[in-house]
Amino acid sequence: MFKKTKRRLVILNALVFFILQNTFGALIYFYTYYSLYHQVDQNILEKKNHLLHERERMGTELNQEREENHRLVYLLWGKGNKLNQVIPSNSITHVGTDRFSQLLNKEGLQSTTIGTESYRFINISVSTYKNYSPVQKIQVVYNLKRENEMLSHLLMVIGFGSLLSVFIAILAGIYLANKALIPIKMSWEKQQQFVADASHELRTPLSVMKLNLEHLFRHPDHSVEQESETIHQAIQEINYLSKMASDLLTLARSDSNQLQLIQETIQLDEILHQAVKDFKTLAILKNIQLTADIHPIKMIGDKERLKQLFVILLDNALKYTKENGTISIKGSVKNSRTIIEISDTGIGIPKEDLPYIFDRYYRGDKSRTRHLEGAGLGLSIARWIIQSHSGKIRIMSKEGEGTHVLVSLPLKNKN
């Protein structure tokens, strides 16, 4: 699948890159073409204006021009379109003068090609000037040989660059395609892992429920009291599936941005105290000391989601802390942010597992014996809640020494 996608991306990127390169080359060529011809036209028009203003010294000016610029040619025409003089002499062949005689009626700047030579010219009428009565018209002709050579060389360079751009475009296409496929491959691998883990987590409780129901079916004469343990175990698995389905729905909605936070002013310290109160009884049953040092905290956020966040964190702390352990919760305000710290003396998290604890379905228990309830979705939901509130979470832990969770939330949510 990725090979086909990569091939398409390479072709698309190479095509776009090739078009951009050649478009840029074409723009350079036409801009140079326009600039050169514009400069030639300006030069011709300046000579025309100069001749008209200095008509009394026209002969002298033309003789001087012969020495100054050999690219400009003046054709002096008399009555009946008879060529009187070419300045400089022998600069245009007989065939060329015959061709220009046919263009004496053209007005404005014109272009013509004679053989392999290209010219730009303009006709000037001087029949009204008494000092130059033998001359009725003057043609100012500019030889475009150098301009055409420059454009020809530029076109060769652009053509070579166009051929080279094919290889550059392919290499760039491959590079960009590889870059573009990195997040796609990562997303695909995560999706595959997610599906595999979800299948594993669903298969276990379903298998347990099936065995329990088959057991009940094999003993239809047993009373409810006799099979109470089997029924209780089935109910536990149903509760596990229900919680997993709820967590999956939460994550799916968060991925598609369907979950909207209810932004309101809340007392976060009250939410924390309530969460501590809810877990106090469970802590006593496990002989765990649960302490809280929470200062008044007023902020803007989603009350229900923040309550869910601290239930997840406290549940993890209680779940992984053995008897006679301690759990402490601290809450304070610092620099327009609320700082929540949850510390426990539990089993801790191995160093190699820390980078993956927020991944969905990831649990340090590789064997997945499910001796501890949970599908590995809690911290993924916790991270989403914190990020939705523009906050940050940091977890520091050492195996066998406990875990320290640091949550930082802005008092005013920017999202």
In tens, the pLDDT along 223-258 reads: 888 888 888 888 878 887 887 777 777 777 666 665
Find the radius of gyration of the CA atoms of the chain: 44
pLDDT top residue among 128 and 177: 177
Which residue ranges make up each domain of the chain? Answer: 2-152, 180-255, 264-410
Spell out the alpha helix ranges (H) of 286-396: 303-319, 378-388
pLDDT top residue among 402 and 50: 402
DSSP class per residue in 270-299: HHHHHHHHHHHHHHHHTT-EEEEEE---EE
Pairing of strands 72-77, 137-143: antiparallel
Report the pLDDT averaged over residues 355-382.
66
What gap in Å lies between CA 170 and CA 37, rounded to an integer?
36
* Cα angle: 101, vertex 102, 103; to 5 degrees: 90
Report the pLDDT averaged over residues 172-182.
82
Q: Is the pLDDT of residue 130 over 50?
A: no
Q: Which residues pair with 328 in a beta bridge?
A: 291, 343
What gap in Å lies between CA 275 and CA 310, rounded to an integer?
7
Give, rounded to a whole angstrom, the gap between the first and last alpha carbons of the chain: 37
In tens, the pLDDT along 47-105 reads: 888 777 765 555 445 554 443 445 788 888 887 778 888 887 777 777 788 888 888 88
The angle that helices 2-53 and 58-68 make with each other, rounded to 10 degrees, is 140
Percent of the chain residues topping a pLDDT of 70: 85
Report the pLDDT averaged over residues 187-216.
75
Judged by DSSP in three states, 345 sits in: coil
Per the prediction, the chain carries an average pLDDT of 81
Report the pLDDT averaged over residues 360-367.
58
pLDDT at 282: 86
What gap in Å lies between CA 191 and CA 218, rounded to an integer?
40
What gap in Å lies between CA 358 and CA 380, rounded to an integer?
5
Pairing of strands 110-114, 117-125: antiparallel
Domain 264-410 belongs in CATH node 3.40.50.10070:
no
Contact, 336 vs 411, CB < 8 A?
yes
CATH dotted code for 2-152: 3.30.450
Domain 180-255 belongs in CATH node 3.40.50.720:
no
Q: Is the pLDDT of residue 387 over 60?
A: yes
In tens, the pLDDT along 305-336 reads: 899 899 889 988 998 898 889 999 999 999 88
In tens, the pLDDT along 1-37 reads: 677 877 888 888 788 888 888 888 899 999 999 999 8
Q: Which residues pair with 140 in a beta bridge?
A: 74, 122
Contact, 378 vs 312, CB < 8 A?
yes
